[in-house]
Amino acid sequence: MKKILIALLVLCIAFIPVLVIAQPRYEADFSLTVSVNGAEVKTIKDYIYVYDTDVLDVGLNLKTNEDFYAGPLSAEIHYTDSFLEYNDFDWNEYSRFYSACKSYSNLSLYQEEISFLKLDMIPTTDDCVKAPNLLNECLINIQLVANGKRDDVAQVYLDESTIRNRSNPFGSTYFACYTDNGDLAGNRYDFGSEIYLDFSKASIKFKITDSGDVNSDKRITSSDSLLIMQMATGIKSLDSHQAIVADVDSNGKVNSSDGLAILQISAGIRTINDILNI
């Protein structure tokens, strides 16, 4: 009898981890992508470098797992409004999630103590019969314009502290899901601490630069390149401001490499991030 009891106990202990692993884990990863003046920035170290008046397209990407049939989403996209101006947005109309929500999708601008864009997307039976799963797609592109001076830092991010869960039941960010094969009439698993929203890749910092703009006309042109070449060869002298902005690759020297880099940027062959973000 004692042996049977021990055997049962061992069996129970063996199955506990299986039961724990078998619990569904609903995961949604949010990330941001950026294009500057239409060119995608692929390599980012600490900052994306932008010039004053550059146009930034920030894409919000959503990735969900197999068991996560996407239900209503409400999120806040924060941005530093002192250095970035909100301009416009576009839905990704090819997104499966947008297709499931298009009759109830909304982006609205809030400008109070902090500025943010409030995103609401709710799948409806008007748009689809099944909520989508296994998503990995851009939902929306937001256009912002840089507005600042050298070394100003700005950020676009989703704020983890707004996520609704058991310890933050009034959080403004939530993402529900359907558990019954995506059937909108079936079981909805509502927001809570069992749904894991990952915002670790949903934050991008920008630093305003004027590198290379030695004639201070707010544009990078071949005139800047020519001036840098003349400075590098001693034909023209540099004032203290020019000595900083002419050193495009920040190696402490103004030479022909800086002039060449600016010539390539003015011709659209490279971007300032190809030089400063390596």
Q: Which residues bind Ca ion (CB under 5 A)?
A: 213, 215, 217, 219, 224, 247, 249, 251, 253, 258
Closer Cβ to Ca ion, 42 or 253, answer by number: 253
Element (H, E) at 62: strand 55-64
CA-to-CA separations, 182 to 24, 60, 65, 125, in angstroms, rounded: 14, 23, 13, 12
CA quadruple 243, 247, 251, 254: dihedral, nearest 10: -70
Closer Cβ to Ca ion, 29 or 213, answer by number: 213
CB of 225 to Ca ion, least distance (A): 9
Question: Which residues on neighbouring strands pair with residue 75, listed in sequence order?
Answer: 119
CB of 74 to Ca ion, least distance (A): 43
CB of 232 to Ca ion, least distance (A): 9
Yes or no: say if 209 and 150 are a contact pair by the CB < 8 Å rule.
Answer: yes
Retrieve residue 203's tokens: 């934050």
Element (H, E) at 211: none
CB of 120 to Ca ion, least distance (A): 42
Closer Cβ to Ca ion, 177 or 275, answer by number: 275
CB of 54 to Ca ion, least distance (A): 14
Retrieve residue 39's tokens: 């060119």
CB of 228 to Ca ion, least distance (A): 9
Closer Cβ to Ca ion, 140 or 254, answer by number: 254
Yes or no: say if 145 and 80 are a contact pair by the CB < 8 Å rule.
Answer: no
Closer Cβ to Ca ion, 52 or 190, answer by number: 52
Q: Which residue has the tokens 């990995």?
A: 136
Closer Cβ to Ca ion, 54 or 258, answer by number: 258
> Distance (Å, rounded) from C-alpha 3 to C-alpha 186?
46
